[in-house]
């Protein structure tokens, strides 16, 4: 079976490399010529653990190819997957479907023989229907159900553990309108039958909504534990023990109960906004999600306020060292990361900021290309290590729980910091134990403050 994946980003590239590993012939197409040039030389444009070797294995086995030429790839494909971005539409919070519709038109122009067009992108209810309409209006000679079908197969992989998530998913969701397309998708996921992956077979509409409901629920779970963290701080309770205490209840489950500075990333913020817009469009109530969106936006600002206030109250050196820039460890994705809200707020208050992130550090190629965030970060200083970042700072903030921040030499950190007043250590990921941090004024999330 031949597969074309349109869009070689986080989802398209990982899916392509994994399907090639399963033994399919995969072509990844992207509009971005420099991305394709890099991929053809075995260079991976994103950071995702294990992806480098998987892509190169696929290239070597001649099962994975990259091109800008959509036409040739589509003609010979049995399955075409759309994995383009669906960012928030400027001004109203809806998912922007421009890239999906453009891709649908381009795909239609080259269809040849029965092909299943599958949306892997996260798209609002009814998008598969619209994609089918675009195909029919672009190619009136094609008959839905005979020449092509459109299916929804939302992707649930997480950046940072994307390969494992793709190879060992909790479930596969397949939304089709008939048996013919369903059989093709079943064949595509047959390699996962061995590990007994549950398959949820449904309509495209339900599949589309499952993805938003899943992300909405997870964002809600994070916001819930963050609100409990606020309450713990006021009452002297401990949010980590509270999370354990509720998470052991199988009806609740322990995952996504880590209190922190608010969720970020390329999915939860935009998908919660889009879900809220879908509910408004269909005039139904989705007030839980509306509250989650507002609370999470405010939480990032509150975290900035907490840092600014602590620095002012403690009378420490007005320099804050930020450890971690990405929205979570093991990804280079900065989209909607808490750091992108928090750092400019600190800078606005005439407090200097030094930054170290294992992927964005002084001199790193990635930092040179992070031009989308130039304005937010331009007054901050990037350093080469966590220890360089904390040098002469009055406050250190852990924003991302990268592994290399889990066993920092705390004595060394203290000695490097400005100690004219007791330095602050703000652990927004609860990596350290308060009792080990007595040299500092230590702030954890959702715990009694020392």
Ligand X SMILES: NC(=O)c1ccc[n+]([C@@H]2O[C@H](COP(=O)([O-])OP(=O)(O)OC[C@H]3O[C@@H](n4cnc5c(N)ncnc54)[C@H](O)[C@@H]3O)[C@@H](O)[C@H]2O)c1
Residues at the site binding ligand X, with contacts judged by CB under 6 A: 6-12, 29-32, 35, 83-86, 99, 102-103, 106, 121-122, 155, 157, 159, 266-267
Work out whether strand 441-444 and strand 395-398 pair parallel, antiparallel, or are unpaired: unpaired
Complex with ligand X: residue 383 or 400, whichever CB lies closer: 400
The catalytically annotated residue of 18, 28, 232, 267 is 267
Cβ-Cβ contacts under 8 Å for 148 (sequence gap 6 or more):
111, 114, 115, 116, 117, 132, 135, 142
Q: What's the length of the chain? A: 450
Complex with ligand X: residue 336 or 376, whichever CB lies closer: 336
Q: What angle do CA 349, 354, 360 make, to 5 degrees?
A: 125
Residue 196: how many CA atoms within 13 Å on its side-chain side? 0
Complex with ligand X: residue 271 or 401, whichever CB lies closer: 271
Decide: 20 and 26 in contact? Cβ < 8 Å: yes
Q: Least CB distance from residue 269 to ligand X, whole Å?
A: 11
Nearest to 319 by CA among 351, 284, 292: 351
Q: Least CB distance from residue 247 to ligand X, whole Å?
A: 23
Complex with ligand X: residue 33 or 287, whichever CB lies closer: 33
DSSP 272-338: HHHHHHHHHHTT---HHHHHHHHHHHHHHHHHHHHHHHHHHHHT--SEEEEE--SSSTT----TT-H
Complex with ligand X: residue 154 or 324, whichever CB lies closer: 154
Q: Least CB distance from residue 210 to ligand X, whole Å?
A: 12
Does the active-site annotation cover 267? yes
Q: Least CB distance from residue 87 to ligand X, whole Å?
A: 8
Q: What is d(CA 5, CA 338) in angstroms, rounded to the nearest whole number?
A: 31
Q: What is d(CA 22, CA 192) in angstroms, rounded to the nearest whole number?
A: 9
Residue nearest to ligand X as judged by C-beta position: 9
Cβ-Cβ contacts under 8 Å for 337 (sequence gap 6 or more):
264, 265, 325, 326, 327, 400
Q: Least CB distance from residue 35 to ligand X, whole Å?
A: 6
Catalytic residue set: 267
């Amino acid at each position: 079976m031949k597969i074309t994946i349109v869009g070689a980003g986080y989802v398209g590239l990982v899916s392509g490399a994994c399907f090639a590993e399963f033994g399919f012939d995969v072509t990844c197409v992207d509009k971005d010529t420099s991305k394709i040039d890099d991929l053809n030389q075995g260079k991976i444009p994103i950071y995702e653990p294990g992806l480098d070797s998987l892509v190169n294995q696929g290239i070597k086995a001649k099962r994975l190819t990259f091109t800008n030429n959509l036409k040739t790839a589509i003609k010979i494909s049995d399955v075409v997957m759309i994995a383009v971005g669906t960012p928030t539409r400027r001004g109203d919070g809806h998912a922007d479907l421009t890239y999906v519709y453009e891709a649908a038109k381009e795909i239609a122009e080259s269809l040849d023989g029965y092909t299943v067009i599958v949306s892997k992108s996260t798209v609002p209810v009814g998008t598969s229907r619209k994609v089918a309409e675009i195909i029919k209006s672009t190619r009136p000679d094609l008959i839905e159900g005979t020449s092509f079908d459109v299916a929804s197969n939302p992707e649930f992989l997480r950046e940072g553990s994307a390969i494992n998530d793709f190879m060992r998913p909790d479930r596969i969701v397949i939304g089709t309108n008939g048996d013919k397309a369903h059989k093709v998708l079943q064949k595509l996921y047959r390699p996962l039958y061995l590990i007994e992956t549950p398959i949820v077979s449904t309509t495209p509409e339900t599949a589309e909504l499952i993805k938003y409901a899943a992300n909405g629920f997870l964002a809600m779970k994070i916001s819930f534990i963050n609100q409990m963290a606020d309450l713990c701080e006021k009452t002297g309770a401990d949010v980590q023990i509270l999370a354990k205490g509720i998470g052991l209840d199988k009806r609740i489950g322990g995952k996504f109960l880590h209190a922190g500075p608010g969720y970020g990333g390329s999915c939860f913020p935009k998908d919660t906004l889009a879900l809220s817009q879908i509910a408004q469009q269909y005039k139904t109530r989705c007030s839980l999600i509306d509250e989650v969106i507002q609370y999470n936006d405010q939480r990032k600002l509150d975290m900035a306020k907490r840092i600014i206030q602590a620095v002012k109250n403690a009378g420490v050196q007005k320099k804050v060292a930020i450890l971690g820039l990405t929205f979570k460890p093991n990804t280079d994705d900065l989209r909607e990361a808490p750091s992108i809200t928090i750092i400019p707020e600190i800078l606005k208050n005439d407090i200097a900021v030094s930054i170290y992130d294992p992927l964005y550090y002084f001199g790193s190629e990635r930092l040179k290309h992070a031009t989308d965030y130039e304005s937010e970060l331009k007054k901050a200083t990037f350093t080469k290590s966590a220890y360089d970042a904390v040098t002469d700072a009055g406050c250190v903030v852990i924003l991302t729980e990268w592994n290399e921040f889990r066993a920092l030499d705390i004595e060394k950190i203290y000695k490097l910091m400005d100690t004219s007043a007791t330095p602050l250590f703000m652990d927004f990921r609860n990596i350290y134990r308060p009792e080990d941090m007595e040299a500092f004024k230590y702030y954890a999330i959702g715990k009694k403050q020392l």
